[in-house]
Amino acid sequence: MMNRHSPSTTGESLTEVAADLRDAALAFFPEATSLQPVPSSDDLARVEDGSGTWCVRRWPAGIPAARVRFVHAVLLEARRAGLRVVPGVAETSTGERRDVIAAGGRLYDAQGWLPGRPLGRTVVETALSGTRVNLPGTLPPVPLQDLIETVARFHVASEPLALRVDAPRAPLSAVAAAVWRSWSGHRERLRAAASRNPPVQRWIRVGERALPAAGAALEAAPDQWTGMPVVGHHDLWPAHVLFSRRDDDERLTGLVDVSDLAAGSPLLDLAHLVAHFGGWSPDAAEAALGTYGAIRALTPEERRLLPAVVALDLVAEAGWLLVVANERRGREDPPVSSALRTGAEALLASLEAVTPVVLRGEDKSMPGVRKWVHRPRPEAGRPAATRGPGGRAGQRSGSSPGPAHPSRDRSTPVAPSSPRRPRKPDPT
């Protein structure tokens, strides 16, 4: 039975918090001094008591308690490893962990409230169904490096937990299947708008090329296709990353919205770090791989396959934003914002940029950028070499080499078999 005593806070703030969240918050923190809604989500409440500030969450319907407890185990392990940017799990005054509350067919938990704010302009977008829509953004180089290093450390700390039998699993094979299903569903919903909507036409055209190539490349790498060596965040967006200013620098202070934690490939989080925080480019990908790899080593195959995973993510996410932007809206519905259209265009541009890289990894006949090879200075009287290996022009001595991009592997992948070509539900 939930404790129904009221905290010593204003009646106004109590009425702004849903009744079930209020009851859960007071069950966790019967001596609460403040209870407030969280503007960005109807499923969260901010609670203060003598022990600190906390966030009480209402989990989606159908989530088993074992999953919530697994999330708690990962957060506790990460904090033991020194990662204070992930939320702690609420404890009682005697030091016991507060468990999950079940009421009305839903689950509730309490985690530490993390300081900070997302960088840049934060716009809360929702679909007509009420589903929150995440938008891409851009981080300055130093905060982005801080974020990538933190994700790498989180993966190192989570490796033992990825082996647990109760760990939720998200192998690349399942991710690819879900993307195929979403591609099919989004394309069906956008079909009517395609004839008069150039962005939708571009998304369909590039998706038809990117999806088969990306799926084939991943399926041809069995260790990556089914491997799940780390527990990943799997929902990295600018709105889920908090920063605070310290000594004129923005420092990472929070990784939030950890409900999608699952065992999987590190490439899933790396793809988000590239695609959602500045967009795809070879330089951005190489910088992310280098920063991450300095803390947690990546295999050559993992580096090579990053473009394929980025392409999968962008097909699904760009399609979702286009669906939301093209929903039929009545007079009383809010209009489509410029931020939503800009976000869809940014993801689509990244998808168009990464697709040729994925295709080059599939086709031996397509030329690729070769790494610079140092050649000794020619002997007197002999002309300097102007061609690189295979007769292609090499880079001049002294110039910086092009990125050794992971997609330059020349092996021909096996096309995915038809049973593995999933259909797609809408991400909700």
Which residue segment(s) compose the domain that 251 sits in? 125-366+409-420
Report yes or no on 171 lying in a domain.
yes
3 state DSSP class of 253? strand
**What average pLDDT does this structure show over 87-102?**
79
Phi and psi at residue 412, to the nearest 5°: -95, 115
Report yes or no on 404 lying in a domain.
no
CB-based contacts of 75, cutoff 8 Å, min separation 6: 86, 87, 88, 89, 111, 258
Give the CA radius of gyration of the chain: 24
pLDDT band at 131 (very low <50, low <70, confident <90, very high): confident
Whether 416 has a pLDDT exceeding 50, the answer reads no
Same domain membership, residue 307 and residue 188: yes
Report yes or no on 286 lying in a domain.
yes
Mean residue pLDDT of the chain comes to 82
Report yes or no on 7 lying in a domain.
no
User: For residue 123, what pLDDT is reported?
Assistant: 67
Same domain membership, residue 217 and residue 362: yes
Same domain membership, residue 190 and residue 107: no
Asked which of 112, 146, 179 is the last residue of a domain, the reply is 112
Higher pLDDT, 124 or 142: 142
pLDDT band at 92 (very low <50, low <70, confident <90, very high): low
**What average pLDDT does this structure show over 128-154?**
93
What is the number of structural domains in the chain? Answer: 2
User: For residue 93, what pLDDT is reported?
Assistant: 59
**What average pLDDT does this structure show over 234-251?**
91
State the burial class of residue 418 (Cβ atoms within 10 Å of its Cβ: 0-12, 13-18, 19+).
exposed
Same domain membership, residue 207 and residue 69: no
Handedness of CA 256, 259, 264, 269 (dihedral sign): negative
**What average pLDDT does this structure show over 167-176?**
97
Asked which of 57, 84, 112 is the last residue of a domain, the reply is 112
Could you tell me which of 239, 197, 235, 213 has the C-alpha nearest to residue 345?
197
CB-based contacts of 73, cutoff 8 Å, min separation 6: 161, 164
**Which of 83-87, 113-117, 167-171, 382-386 is least confident?**
382-386
Say which amino acid occupies 82: G
Whether 423 has a pLDDT exceeding 60, the answer reads no
Same domain membership, residue 144 and residue 38: no
Q: Which residue has the tokens 């929902």?
A: 235
Domain of residue 188, CATH code:
3.90.1200.10
Domain of residue 97, CATH code:
3.30.200.20
User: For residue 16, what pLDDT is reported?
Assistant: 83
pLDDT band at 70 (very low <50, low <70, confident <90, very high): very high
User: For residue 121, what pLDDT is reported?
Assistant: 65
Report yes or no on 381 lying in a domain.
no
CB-based contacts of 351, cutoff 8 Å, min separation 6: 203, 206, 207, 210, 280, 311, 314, 315, 318
Same domain membership, residue 332 and residue 257: yes
Q: Which two tokens stand for residue 181?
A: 């299903």
Whether 379 has a pLDDT exceeding 90, the answer reads no
User: For residue 236, what pLDDT is reported?
Assistant: 97
User: How many Å apart are CA 225 and CA 191, to the nearest integer?
Assistant: 31
User: For residue 126, what pLDDT is reported?
Assistant: 80
Could you tell me which of 220, 225, 190, 216 has the C-alpha nearest to residue 204?
190
Report yes or no on 372 lying in a domain.
no
Could you tell me which of 340, 346, 292, 294 has the C-alpha nearest to residue 144?
292
User: How many Å apart are CA 316 and CA 178, to the nearest integer?
Assistant: 9
pLDDT band at 410 (very low <50, low <70, confident <90, very high): very low
Same domain membership, residue 181 and residue 53: no
Same domain membership, residue 287 and residue 330: yes
pLDDT band at 99 (very low <50, low <70, confident <90, very high): confident
H-helix or E-strand spanning residue 108: strand 106-112
Asked which of 50, 80, 112 is the last residue of a domain, the reply is 112
Q: Could you tell me whether strands 101-103 and 52-58 are parallel, antiparallel, or unpaired per DSSP bridges?
A: unpaired
**What average pLDDT does this structure show over 300-308?**
97
pTM above 0.75, yes or no: yes
User: For residue 329, what pLDDT is reported?
Assistant: 67
Same domain membership, residue 243 and residue 357: yes
Same domain membership, residue 265 and residue 159: yes
Whether 381 has a pLDDT exceeding 70, the answer reads no
Q: Report DSSP letters for 227-247, one per residue.
A: ---EEE-----GGGEEEEEET
Report yes or no on 378 lying in a domain.
no
Q: Which two tokens stand for residue 337?
A: 């914002």
Q: For 342-367, what is each residue's pLDDT tens digit?
A: 999 999 999 999 999 999 986 544 44
Same domain membership, residue 248 and residue 227: yes
Report yes or no on 427 lying in a domain.
no
Same domain membership, residue 249 and residue 146: yes
Q: Which two tokens stand for residue 347?
A: 């993801």
